[in-house]
Amino acid sequence: MVRIAVNGALGRMGGEVIAQAVLDPSFTVVAGIDPGASSNSELGCQLLPDIAALTESVDVIVDFSSPAALPALLRYATTHGVPLVLGTTGFSASDKRKIEDAALLAPVFVSPNMSYGVAVLADLTRQAVKALGGFDVEISEAHHRRKVDAPSGTALMLADVVASTSPTPMPVVLDRAGHHGARDDGEIGVTSLRGGTVAGRHTVGLYGDDEVIELSHTALSQRVMAAGGLRAAAFMEGKPAGYYTMEQLLAEQSLVTHVGLERDVAVLSLSGVPAEPRAVAGLFDAITGVNVDMISATTPLGGELDLAFSVPQAELAAAVQALSEFGGLKPRVTEHLAKLTVEGEGMAITPGVAARLFDCLAQCGVSPFQVTTSETKITLAVETGHATRVIDAIRDEFGLK
């Protein structure tokens, strides 16, 4: 159970966080904190006027207030080592530097938008911009009439996502009023709308020649932000000092999303292969007609290296014959193995996945015959009889149903 204190408890967002947490058995609301605190609070928890008045231990502090509260929150978090979730927007450049400094001493989670859907939108934006290099990018956002900052922190975050994909600077243009001339290449336009009771709408438009792609997220109520704040609080419990973001939370949620199994695979191992590009190229040219996978090689030593790769069991004989004809090569062969593929987009930015995977193998008493990796995938070959047991261990470790 995560014990939380909510700063900005009397605001709309703070009150919603408390209301959701009270109904969730995985949370205990230790205190609400707000300068307008009074003794007749109906929030269902003690209400304090200042974070300094908090004497009970908490696991995480969740903040939905204003930038003015930041110094006291950072002081408390760094003094007590308590994780801090900042859902407040409108921080200045100076505020952001203070947050980064505090993250050296305490765990701090920062997101201008706590919606999990917006985190997915940011990830989709990153993928789209990479795939559609050269498209013009325009970002629009709409919020209720009472929102005080414009553009929204989320719109600026999305602009940062776009800019981070480019090797060259991409300036953000907030207002084209008075600009006379064509749109500059590489700029990111951001426009804001305010009115009514719109909880929040963000759209990333990618404009190419004769085609347009739009990615959009609409919050139908602020409940999604409160739910995201609680999701972040659960994520931050027990974390070490550091600067955490929604991208990392999303990565953890998508750390391992699929475990695949392919039976009847063979691994061929070759020793003493000349460590020369043309020799290695010739080797693989010789087996062009064979479906080769899981290629790995050792660091060259004395002009030679060891090489291993997998092939379908049905193509093993053809591979062995081709290698023999190529240069009299006689590989060491391990047959009838199972190939396990562990995949997840979150692997790309999350350390420690390989360690957890090998812990699963150790628990099962299984040594792999071959292992290869990429940013988002780990593939290994094991004895077929152990495959199901290893898969079950991996699924348990990473919370797959």
Q: Is 249 found in the same domain as 228?
A: yes
For residue 121, what is the domain's CATH number? Answer: 3.30.360.10
Q: Which of 80, 143, 217, 258 is catalytic?
A: 143
- Domain end marker among 253, 272, 304: 253
CATH code, domain carrying 366: 3.30.2130.10
Looking at residues 227-233, what average pLDDT do you find? 94
Task: Give the global pTM.
Answer: 0.68
Q: 99 with 146, same domain?
A: no
Question: Taking 80 as the threshold, does the pLDDT of residue 42 lie above it?
Answer: no
User: Could you list the residue range(s) of the whole structural domain that residue 330 is in?
Assistant: 258-397
What's the domain count of the chain? 3
Question: Higher-confidence residue: 347 or 253?
Answer: 347
* pLDDT one-digit tens code per residue, 267-283: 999 999 999 999 999 99
Task: Say what the pLDDT of residue 251 is.
Answer: 80
- Report the alpha-carbon distance of residue 335 to residue 342 in Å, rounded: 21
Which of 147, 202, 217, 339 is flagged as catalytic? 147
Q: Are residues 314 and 205 in the same domain?
A: no
Q: Are residues 232 and 273 in the same domain?
A: no
Residue 229 one-letter amino acid: G
C-alpha dihedral, 149 to 154 to 12 to 227, nearest 10°: -170
Through-space distance between the first and last CA atoms of the chain, rounded to whole angstroms:
22
Residues 151 and 294 in one domain: no
Please indicate, yes or no, whether residues 185 and 319 belong to a single structural domain of this protein: no
Question: Which DSSP letter does residue 134 get?
Answer: T
Same domain, 347 and 274: yes
Check whether residue 155 and residue 67 sit in a common domain. Answer: no
> For residue 41, what pLDDT band results from cuts at 50, 70 and 90?
low
The pLDDT tens digits of the residues spanning 165-179 come to: 888 889 999 988 888
Q: What is the CATH number of the domain that holds 99?
A: 3.40.50.720
Catalytic: 258? no
Task: Identify residue 103 by its one-letter amino acid code.
Answer: A
Tell me the percentage of the chain whose pLDDT exceeds 70: 98
Instruction: Report helix angle 70-80 to 93-102, nearest 10.
Output: 10
Residue 39's pLDDT band, with cuts at 50, 70 and 90, is low
Examine the residue annotation and report whether 147 is marked as an active-site residue of this protein.
yes
Kind and range of the H or E run holding 278: helix 277-286
Residue 10 and residue 62 in one domain: yes
Last residue of one domain, picked from the residues 253, 268, 297: 253
Is residue 189 within 8 A of residue 124, CB to CB? The reply is no
Q: Hey, is 230 helix, strand or coil?
A: helix
Q: Are residues 370 and 289 in the same domain?
A: yes
Kindly state the DSSP code that residue 56 receives in the 8-state scheme: S
Q: What pLDDT, in 10s, does the model give residues 362-382? A: 999 999 999 999 988 999 999
